[in-house]
Structure 1
């Protein structure tokens, strides 16, 4: 897929597999690397969020130093997955526990870290990086938000994506509305968020939410083609990022304010909503290994 950069050995992370290609200035970030050895859930567990933030900070610092030394060139970051799901969304098990304890600080800290991560992909990590989401498996809830945060979404056919939070009387609060409204009209974004339906990658491509749609197994090649196309026009692409940020700004303050609303809404959920979340948690465990499925007890 890509080759390591000999000048900058990739840092090792518990939940990420990071691979760098110096020739194309590309940095691949594969989520759920830990699931290969340990059954679990392909969701945004706190460890995965922490690893992504650490990856972003490390890469941003390195690229900023390189720019200071006069090294130029359009860089690409590809967010992908090492399992058959891109990402199934927020850590519902964590949510249930925090809501039952009415632990607002814990829920708010989690939500704000998520927002910091997706906003960094959206902003090019403040160093002009072009972010690409490679969706080869289902992207639900926060997983779909993470894909939407990227500048380009490449998806393979037959993949499901959507925002099912309304099933437990919540809304997607880590960037969905802001990112959707960059691609589709606000009223359409609201309908999508409140319906809770799942859509195929083919449907989302027709709606304008997926940029590049390819047959199964051709996602990596499609990403590489996007990168080649961008490298032919690096100055125009970099300028387009700046223009987009001026014309359609999504600020971190805006996203933090929205996620505050999400936290306050989550803390109002009752037992019916929590039971729905817990059933989804059990389904996630069964999907990628049943080791801990039975410890999620329904009241």
Structure 2
């Protein structure tokens, strides 16, 4: 950790945007800037507008007291270490707002979406998996998985704040993407969205909350069937099962979220209270998720070369999908 003089030097560096920074300097500058911004008396929307995230696009709607964050991955359309770090920073920023005595509650809703056309999130970082399994780096793989379940658990507990979390799913939510959506209080999906747990294709199981959430939302038998089947489900199919709360036509997702918030803000307290009742009747503990992660790590370390080659092929396919989506976004923008 930098000493006082080093912090002052780095803080001064933040005043020179044209000066190149490297590795540790960038991280230190970001931490100092974050600390300063969160203590400044700025309007809510400016506190986030002045904070940079490499893998997120964050917006605030003060009128609806809603924060929207869209995943905008740099490396892969999955939960890379970079995206996990940005999500952790965002969580800290949101929690810091509620540590102030400023009268009206700053946020009522948190909405999670994606900027990538056709992709919500494709799950775990397959490149990271393959590398650490081949290197027999059990602890490195476990640390990554624990980072994932820490954020999933935090979402399932609404960041320990009096807010409601909504996942807006447009495109594919697979593996960890599906798990993350289920950790929210509500899922609103556009009709073309797809959901699934494909890990069985390479002899693994989804280890960051899938069974915990499915067995509570459905039952253990159907949870096992979904995990072992590796089937891809439509938004309508999951709505019929009770896993998706609302299905809307493509392109109408954001409007549907805003309409829901506008219509239900007066019922916000009741919604949160019923959520607390559900948690007390059927609680999910952080330790449960950690125990499952340890089982997942043991299973992952037993994967054979054929399984790892399947992971490699899926990773390349995901990377290609992201490249195609980026091209579509550039063409649309032009």
- Both proteins in one fold, TM over 0.5: yes
1:128 aligns with 2:128: no
1:252 aligns with 2:286: yes
Question: Which of residues 259, 276, 282 in structure 1 aligns to 2:310?
Answer: 276
1:182 aligns with 2:216: yes
Question: Which of residues 93, 97, 107 in structure 1 aligns to 2:141?
Answer: 107
Question: Which of residues 44, 48, 65 in structure 1 aligns to 2:83?
Answer: 48
Higher helix share: 2
The offset of 1:73, in angstroms, is 6.8
TM-score, normalised to structure 1, is: 0.90
The offset of 1:6, in angstroms, is 3.9
> Any gaps of 5 or more consecutive residues in structure 2?
1-42, 325-334
1:9 aligns with 2:48: yes
The offset of 1:71, in angstroms, is 3.0
| Equivalent residue, structure 2, for 1:173 | 207
Matches within 5 A, 1:68-147: 68-72=101-105, 75-84=108-117, 85-147=119-181
| Equivalent residue, structure 2, for 1:198 | 232
Aligned length: 280
> Any gaps of 5 or more consecutive residues in structure 1?
35-39, 291-299
| Larger Rg over CA atoms | 2
1:264 aligns with 2:304: no
The offset of 1:274, in angstroms, is 0.3
Partner Cα separation in structure 1 for residue 105 and residue 223 of structure 2: 37
Higher relative contact order (CA 8 A, sep 6+): 1
The offset of 1:160, in angstroms, is 1.2
CA RMSD of aligned residues (A): 1.6
Partner Cα separation in structure 2 for residue 268 and residue 74 of structure 1: 44
Partner Cα separation in structure 2 for residue 7 and residue 274 of structure 1: 45
TM-score, normalised to structure 2, is: 0.80
Partner Cα separation in structure 1 for residue 79 and residue 46 of structure 2: 30
